[in-house]
Amino acid sequence: MLIESSAYASRWRDVAPSAKALFALAGFVAAWLAHSPVAFAALTAVLVLAALLGARVQLRSYIAVALPPLGFLLLSCLTMLLGPDANGHWNFTTAMLPTIEHLALRSFAMLAAMLGLVLTTPMPDLLNLLRRLRTPELLLDLMVLCYRMLFVMQQAWEESITAQSARLGYRNFRQAWRSTGLLAGQMAVQVWQRAAALQMAADARAYQGTLRFLPTAYPHASRQQAWAALAGALMLAIALGDRL
């Protein structure tokens, strides 16, 4: 929910999704081509500042969204420090440090490119862009259903929490623990019932396997794409200069 709310509140909300996707793609390619820590730092700084200063994404929201993948990356780097020695015993080793540093810096830059796209582009705009790029309709429909189910689960969870709180279900630790267990057990039933209701509503509207959204017009798309291409070319120049 935080990602979607940040996308709708972004100053780049009315920027063409194709321009933002082009900028993010250039960031991905530049991060893949870069080699030195200085180049990775420069690319990451450009991508992060573009989101924070250009799109005006709130710093707190940016950090909150970035923390889970950064935690996964940290855990992955720590596991790469483990390895067998000559006797076959597993312990920490520094042999992989250069590789870990390179992968971590590249991942930082690519994560910044991805966050810049998702935190400034709402899901319907991304789906319309993917449809224009000839993405299979089945994949798009699965994305829409998963996207909708997030809201269904959130609504079911919040309503259940409210009902339990009204019945003093969280008055002490023992009662709160019991209420949480009951809530977890009922969530599957609640979500299944609401998903069935959504399917009935779709069938009542003659759903034929394709979900459509009203497209949004972007009168300045060409100019925005040109600016995105220029900024992308700058990042590619940094990466190629570092490579050469």
- pLDDT tens-place string over residues 23-76: 999 999 999 999 899 999 999 999 999 999 999 999 999 999 999 999 999 998
Residue 210, pLDDT > 70, answer no
Percentages helix, strand, coil for the chain (3-state, rounded to 5) are 75, 0, 25
Q: Kindly state the average pLDDT of the residues 93-121.
A: 89
pLDDT at 217: 80
Q: Find the length of the chain.
A: 244
Q: Which two tokens stand for residue 158?
A: 């919040």
Q: Kindly state the average pLDDT of the residues 164-189.
A: 83
Residue 120, pLDDT > 90, answer yes
Q: Kindly state the average pLDDT of the residues 179-186.
A: 82
pLDDT at 24: 94
Q: Kindly state the average pLDDT of the residues 173-185.
A: 83
10 or 204, greater pLDDT: 10
Dihedral sign for Cα 78, 79, 84, 88, please. Answer: positive
Compute the mean pLDDT over every residue in the chain, rounded to the nearest whole number: 85
Burial label for 70, CB within 10 Å (0-12, 13-18, 19+), is: middle
Q: Kindly state the average pLDDT of the residues 10-15.
A: 90
Rounded CA separation 117/57 (Å): 11
Residue 84, pLDDT > 90, answer no
DSSP notation for 77-116:
HHHHTEEE-TTS-EEE-STTHHHHHHHHHHHHHHHHHHHH
Q: Residue 2: name the closest of 58, 71, 70, 48 by CA.
A: 58
Q: Where are the domains of the chain?
A: 2-121+218-243, 130-204
pLDDT in tens, 123-160: 888 888 888 888 888 788 788 777 877 777 777 788 88
Q: What is the DSSP letter of 23?
A: H
Q: Kindly state the average pLDDT of the residues 214-242.
A: 89
Q: Residue 118: name the closest of 30, 230, 23, 31 by CA.
A: 23
Of 4-8, 13-17, 26-30, 181-185, the range with the highest mean pLDDT is 26-30
pLDDT at 145: 77
Q: What is the pTM of this model?
A: 0.79
Q: Which two tokens stand for residue 146?
A: 């998963």
Angle, CA of 148, 152 and 157, to the nearest 5° = 150
pLDDT at 192: 78
